[in-house]
């Protein structure tokens, strides 16, 4: 492996805190501070310091399990932040039309494949021999699952859109 020095330099452009903070947002499985420290090449004490800040900022949740303290993404808060950024970055019309388009896409898949859910579409693969058709159905099922995840978030952003916009005004 060449260029180890250069590699360290590039990562060093991110401070230890930034590196732990970026990594922490990907903690879907609860992990200990020492595991995170090992992954991000920082000391356990440093990791702990930034992780506890992120807990205070409602980005992470701290879970006590036996004698271990574990950290993971606070999914509820992450979803609220996601809803807020959709409301702040997009007009009501943009969100409405995106929502309609996602729903139409799903309706089209339901008609095309004669199934109601992505799970049913995946199940239909078992009866097929054509590799391309199998590939296509797997691809669609995976996109469908993603849209199923996004629709409630976009819907939530629209439901309280006016209320959020009102709260978002800055009085000068």
Partner 1 sequence: MGLSGTIDSSVYEGLKDVLRRYPTVTTVAYEPDSIVKKFLRAQVDPNRVFPPTGPDAPTLDVEWRFTTDDQYYRIHYADPNTGFNCGWHRDDDHPELGPVHFQYENPVTGGNKHERANFEKELPTEVLWTALDRLFDERLPDLTDS
Q: Give the residue, chosen from 73, 83, 115, 121, that forms a contact with partner 1 under the rule CB under 8 A.
A: 73
Burial of residue 136 (CB within 10 Å: 0-12, 13-18, 19+) is middle
Decide if 50 contacts 20 (C-beta within 8 A): yes
Residue linked to tokens 């995106």: 98
86 makes contact with partner 1 (CB under 8 A): yes
Q: Give the residue, chosen from 27, 37, 54, 106, that forms a contact with partner 1 under the rule CB under 8 A.
A: 27
Please work out, in degrees rounded to the nearest 5, the angle formed at the alpha carbon of residue 97 by the alpha carbons of 95 and 99: 70
* Beta carbon of residue 165, minimum distance to partner 1 (angstroms, whole number): 17
83 makes contact with partner 1 (CB under 8 A): no
Report d(CA 144, CA 11) in Å as an integer. Answer: 36
Which chain residues interact with partner 1 by CB under 8 A? Answer: 2-3, 6-7, 10-11, 13-14, 18-19, 21-28, 36, 39-40, 73, 75, 78, 81-82, 86, 89-90, 94-95, 98, 102, 135, 138-143, 145-147, 149-150, 154
């Amino acid at each position: 492996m060449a260029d180890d020095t250069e590699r360290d330099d590039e990562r060093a452009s991110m401070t230890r805190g930034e590196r732990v903070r970026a990594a922490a947002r990907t903690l879907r499985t609860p992990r200990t501070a020492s595991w995170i420290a090992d992954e991000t090449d920082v000391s356990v004490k440093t990791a702990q310091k930034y992780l506890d800040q992120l807990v205070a900022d409602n980005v992470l949740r701290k879970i006590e399990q036996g004698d271990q303290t574990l950290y993971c993404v606070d999914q509820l808060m992450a979803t609220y932040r996601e809803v807020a950024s959709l409301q702040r970055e997009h007009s009501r019309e943009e969100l409405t039309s995106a929502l309609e388009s996602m729903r139409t896409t799903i309706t089209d898949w339901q008609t095309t494949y004669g199934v109601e859910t992505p799970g049913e579409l995946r199940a239909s693969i078992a009866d097929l021999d054509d590799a391309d058709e199998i590939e296509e159905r797997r691809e669609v099922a995976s996109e469908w699952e993603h849209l199923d995840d996004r629709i409630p978030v976009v819907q939530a952003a629209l439901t309280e859109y006016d209320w959020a916009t009102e709260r978002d005004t800055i009085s000068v």
